[in-house]
Amino acid sequence: MLRMSKMTDYGIVLMTELARAEGGTRTTRELAARTRVPLPSASKVLKGLLQAGLVVSHRGANGGYGLSRPAASLSLSELVASLEGPVALTECGVHTSGGAPCELESVCQIRGHWRLINHAIQDALGRLTLADLIAPAPRMPERLVGLATPRAAPAAAANTSTPSATTGVRS
């Protein structure tokens, strides 16, 4: 099963809570209480997000964390990459010319396909913003139409049970 880490999941949850603050700040304790993310984990994730430049920290009595820029300009791809590293299913989808290639790269016959799949995932995450995540779930922005939940296949619709003309029996 492909899955992002628990810390990345926590990071997305914490960031959506900060987005709901609409420019305000929240302390680590407030964020942990509101999201039910364990306080030590919230603290660790927020420090990573601060280092990545996705949140800002304010000291003092009214201090806490806030988003570094509007939620609509923070892509899920950027958020996941800041916590997980490059987004890709395979090594050949992330290494650069200076990086170590996969030992099978020179003979791999599906490398091009994996690159297309990796690109599709990066594109989908890049089109989804933090603002989209705090909107009600049924809302599907037009730019994400291709990511909507699957609809019934046309073949399934054609196989509806209808009486046979010769036997009168449903197929």
Q: How confident is the model at residue 143 (pLDDT cuts 50, 70, 90)?
A: low
Tell me which architecture the domain covering 6-134 has in CATH: Orthogonal Bundle (1.10)
Whole-structure pTM value? 0.72
Per-residue pLDDT, averaged over 143-171, amounts to 48
Distance CA 124, CA 14 (A): 21
What pLDDT was estimated at residue 10? 96
Q: How confident is the model at residue 167 (pLDDT cuts 50, 70, 90)?
A: very low
Per-residue pLDDT, averaged over 98-104, amounts to 65
* Token pair belonging to 32: 């942990």
Cβ atoms of 19 and 67 within 8 Å: the answer is yes
DSSP bridge pairs for 55: 67
pLDDT at 33 over 90: yes
Q: What does the pLDDT look like over 48-95, one tens digit per residue?
A: 999 999 999 998 887 899 999 999 999 999 999 999 887 777 776 665
85 in the Ramachandran plot: left (φ > 0), alpha (ψ -120 to 50) or beta?
Answer: left
106 to 86, 97, 111, 146: CA distances (angstroms): 22, 14, 9, 33
Give domain limits for the chain. Answer: 6-134
Q: How confident is the model at residue 163 (pLDDT cuts 50, 70, 90)?
A: very low
DSSP letters, the chain, are: -----HHHHHHHHHHHHHHHTTT--B-HHHHHHHHT--HHHHHHHHHHHHHTTSEEEE-STT-EEEESS-GGG-BHHHHHHHHHSS--SSGGGT--TTSPPPTTTTT-SSHHHHHHHHHHHHHHHHH-BHHHHHS-TT---GGGGGGSPPPPPHHHHHT---B-TTT--B-
Number of residues in the chain? 171
For a pLDDT cut of 70, what percent of the chain falls above it? 73
Distance CA 115, CA 48 (A): 28
